[in-house]
């Protein structure tokens, strides 16, 4: 890509070109979530807000990749869920009750958007602007972002101001109303003081202390000690220290009282209400969401199918990644929902291996965990297949065990079942199986061959928020057991370098679980059959540049 300054000469031609291509704007996809969907989500959220409260949600910022090049923009999923706005530098303000403007007009929400700007749009594409926000997103009131900074909304006058936790991971750009300025403007207006918020781990410990009778304080202290290995700062907290070292129950009760007080909010700005309520809303999908999410999942499963047909031992991890991602693009999926993972052999034992740099996958098992993102919704599908098209005995033993665990887990994706149940049965089956194979010495031996959970929501995030209670109708949750035996493990060498995960995206329905990613074969027999098929890529031969 050229630097802007070197492009001056072409600007003129570019203007002419863009004038034509902007008329082609109507050719953009039309199957995004509808404005009615977002409006309905705002209504549901408003119905949960207590009287005299206001919600403020910020769009994601642009983030810098290097020098004058930014990362591809991705919207904050909560902000997108509530607005449908796909640009940076926006703010949503949602009031629990109608507000009155100076002309006596009434409103209960405002969307602030990036101002239209000829020069910026020439370089980076069309902005929706306030008119677009009204027409396409259905907001009655849309204003330019700079109006948010100037606005006279008196956040201090509300009983509650609901916001998301600030990440503060962005810089001040030249734009006078970028996220940096919008957040800064809000903090000043609302009197936001970060020092009064407890860190996540401290809040967790405080709550644990408050909820536990002092007679059982030993349990809490065990939790504190465990957490302190990762977050040693909790040992420096005077209240936690006091509780831990108090020698009598009465003394402990005194510290418990103090901690209860410390947990009481000292501000009207609340950073947990939104996260909790949006998790409850987002964990159950509407019909409209299911259409897009199902499409993302099917695209990802079909990517796995094409790779099964195309894979050859001489291929690189990068090339295999490219085949998946080409299929996504072919279906019009804009992005990958998370960095693609393609790991052959021992690389498959690294859970989030995204380097994908091995130059040939040889005769290894290849673990491929990828998901297309379609109109904001991301799939999460993993297949692990033998590069040469045939499972050897050791590979098949481990694979069948993971498969058995996955099947048992999927059967539990039924309304009312605990979301912990599939993981529990998977670990039980895998432990039993590893023992049978002689990889561990007893079925209850502690080991690190299956170090992750099996079941997370997917949606606008690959790890979608949720409460993780019981399964409800129209949840979409992954089932992904795995076994990873890195080189040098304390077991028979024939199992070394085998890392296997099978992951499917399961829709919970009244009639039981539906596997949305079933198009990608899962049994060893089906996989071998698929891998024996011809691929269009068999004849795709490019010039050799290394000769």
Where does this chain bind Mn ion (CB under 5 A)? 380, 478
Of 530, 511, 532, 508, the C-alpha closest to 519 is: 530
The distance of closest approach from Cβ of residue 517 to Mn ion in the complex, given in angstroms and rounded to an integer, is: 11
The smaller minimum CB distance to Mn ion, of residues 84 and 371, is found at 371
Extract the tokens encoding 23.
């008329």
Q: How far apart are CA 341 and CA 344, in angstroms?
A: 10
Q: Which residue is it, tokens 């009204």? A: 134
The smaller minimum CB distance to Mn ion, of residues 178 and 505, is found at 505
Q: How far apart are CA 99 and CA 341, in angstroms?
A: 49
Whether residue 505 contacts residue 458, with contact meaning beta carbons closer than 8 Å, is answered with: yes
The distance of closest approach from Cβ of residue 478 to Mn ion in the complex, given in angstroms and rounded to an integer, is: 5
The smaller minimum CB distance to Mn ion, of residues 62 and 379, is found at 379
- In eight-state DSSP terms, residue 232 is G
Extract the tokens encoding 130.
């306030």
Beta strand pairing call for 498-501 and 64-66: unpaired
The distance of closest approach from Cβ of residue 503 to Mn ion in the complex, given in angstroms and rounded to an integer, is: 5
Q: How far apart are CA 96 and CA 50, in angstroms?
A: 7
The smaller minimum CB distance to Mn ion, of residues 431 and 478, is found at 478
The distance of closest approach from Cβ of residue 456 to Mn ion in the complex, given in angstroms and rounded to an integer, is: 6
Phi, psi of 137 (to 5 degrees): -105, -10
Whole-Å CA distances, 419 to 378, 481, 496: 20, 14, 32
- Listed in order, strand segments (DSSP E) in 406-540 are 476-479, 482-485, 498-501, 504-509, 512-515
Whole-Å CA distances, 494 to 398, 489, 497: 11, 11, 9
The distance of closest approach from Cβ of residue 452 to Mn ion in the complex, given in angstroms and rounded to an integer, is: 9
The distance of closest approach from Cβ of residue 381 to Mn ion in the complex, given in angstroms and rounded to an integer, is: 9
The smaller minimum CB distance to Mn ion, of residues 164 and 380, is found at 380
The smaller minimum CB distance to Mn ion, of residues 306 and 503, is found at 503
Residues belonging to the chain: 547
- Neighbouring residues of 488: CB distance < 8 A, sequence distance ≥ 6: 496
The distance of closest approach from Cβ of residue 482 to Mn ion in the complex, given in angstroms and rounded to an integer, is: 10
- Neighbouring residues of 80: CB distance < 8 A, sequence distance ≥ 6: 86, 376, 460
Give the residue at shortest CB distance from Mn ion.
380
The smaller minimum CB distance to Mn ion, of residues 53 and 478, is found at 478
Phi, psi of 55 (to 5 degrees): -110, 135
The smaller minimum CB distance to Mn ion, of residues 54 and 410, is found at 410
The distance of closest approach from Cβ of residue 213 to Mn ion in the complex, given in angstroms and rounded to an integer, is: 38
| Secondary structure (DSSP) of 2-29 | --GGGGHHHHHHHHHHHHHHHHGGGGS-
The smaller minimum CB distance to Mn ion, of residues 114 and 478, is found at 478
The smaller minimum CB distance to Mn ion, of residues 310 and 385, is found at 385
CA 171 to chain centre: 23
Q: How far apart are CA 440 and CA 434, in angstroms?
A: 6
- Listed in order, strand segments (DSSP E) in 62-171 are 64-66, 69-70, 91-100, 106-113, 142-144, 160-162
The distance of closest approach from Cβ of residue 117 to Mn ion in the complex, given in angstroms and rounded to an integer, is: 39
**What is the rounded (10 degree) CA torsion for 214, 218, 220, 224?**
130
The distance of closest approach from Cβ of residue 509 to Mn ion in the complex, given in angstroms and rounded to an integer, is: 21
The distance of closest approach from Cβ of residue 455 to Mn ion in the complex, given in angstroms and rounded to an integer, is: 9
The smaller minimum CB distance to Mn ion, of residues 183 and 410, is found at 410
């Amino acid at each position: 890509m050229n630097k802007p300054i070197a492009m001056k000469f072409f600007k003129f031609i570019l203007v002419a070109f863009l004038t034509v291509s902007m008329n082609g704007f109507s050719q953009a996809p039309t199957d995004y979530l509808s404005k009615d969907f977002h409006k309905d989500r705002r209504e549901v959220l408003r119905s949960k807000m207590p009287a005299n409260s206001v919600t403020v949600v910020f769009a994601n910022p642009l983030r810098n990749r290097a020098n004058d090049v930014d990362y591809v923009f991705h919207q904050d999923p909560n902000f997108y869920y509530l607005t449908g706005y796909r640009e940076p530098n926006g703010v949503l303000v949602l009031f629990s009750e109608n507000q009155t403007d100076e002309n006596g007009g009434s409103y209960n929400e405002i969307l602030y958007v990036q101002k239209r700007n000829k020069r910026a749009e020439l370089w980076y594409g069309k902005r929706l602007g306030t008119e677009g926000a009204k027409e396409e997103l259905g907001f009655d009131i849309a204003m330019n972002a700079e109006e948010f900074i100037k606005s006279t909304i008196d956040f201090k006058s509300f009983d509650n101001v609901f916001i998301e936790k600030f990440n503060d991971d962005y810089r001040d750009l030249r734009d006078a109303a970028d996220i940096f300025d919008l957040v800064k403007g809000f903090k000043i207006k609302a009197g936001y003081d970060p020092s009064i918020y407890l860190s996540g781990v401290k809040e967790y410990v405080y709550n644990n202390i408050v909820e536990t009778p002092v007679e059982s304080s030993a349990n809490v202290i065990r939790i504190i000690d465990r957490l302190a290995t990762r977050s040693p700062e909790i040992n420096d907290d005077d209240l936690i220290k006091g509780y831990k070292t108090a020698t009598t129950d009465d003394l402990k009760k005194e510290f418990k009282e103090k901690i209860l007080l410390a947990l009481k909010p000292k501000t009207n700005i609340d950073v947990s209400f939104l996260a909790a309520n949006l998790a409850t809303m987002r964990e159950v999908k509407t019909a409209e969401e299911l259409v897009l999410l199902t499409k993302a999942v099917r695209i990802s499963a079909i990517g796995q199918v094409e790779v099964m047909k195309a894979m050859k031992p001489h291929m690189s991890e990068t090339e295999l990644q490219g085949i998946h991602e080409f299929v996504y693009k072919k279906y019009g999926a804009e992005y990958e929902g998370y960095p693609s993972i393609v790991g052959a052999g021992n690389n498959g034992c690294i859970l989030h291996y995204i380097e994908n740099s091995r130059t040939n996958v040889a005769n290894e098992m290849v673990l491929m965990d990828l998901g297309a993102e379609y109109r904001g919704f991301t799939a999460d599908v993993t297949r692990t297949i033998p590069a040469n098209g045939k499972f050897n005995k050791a590979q098949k033993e481990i694979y069948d065990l993971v498969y058995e665990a996955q099947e048992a887990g999927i059967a539990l994706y039924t309304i009312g079942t605990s979301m912990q149940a599939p993981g529990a049965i998977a670990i039980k089956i895998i432990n039993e199986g590893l023992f049978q194979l002689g990889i561990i010495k007893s079925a209850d031996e502690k080991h690190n061959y299956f170090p992750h959970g099996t079941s997370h929501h997917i949606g606008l995030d690959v790890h979608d928020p949720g409460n993780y209670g019981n399964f409800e109708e129209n949840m979409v949750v992954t089932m992904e057991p795995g076994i990873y035996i890195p080189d040098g493990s304390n077991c028979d060498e024939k199992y070394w370098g085998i890392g296997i995960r099978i992951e499917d995206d399961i829709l919970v329905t009244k009639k039981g679980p539906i596997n949305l990613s079933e198009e990608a074969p899962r049994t060893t027999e089906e996989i071998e059959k698929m891998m024996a098929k011809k691929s269009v890529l068999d004849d795709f031969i490019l010039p050799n540049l290394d000769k």
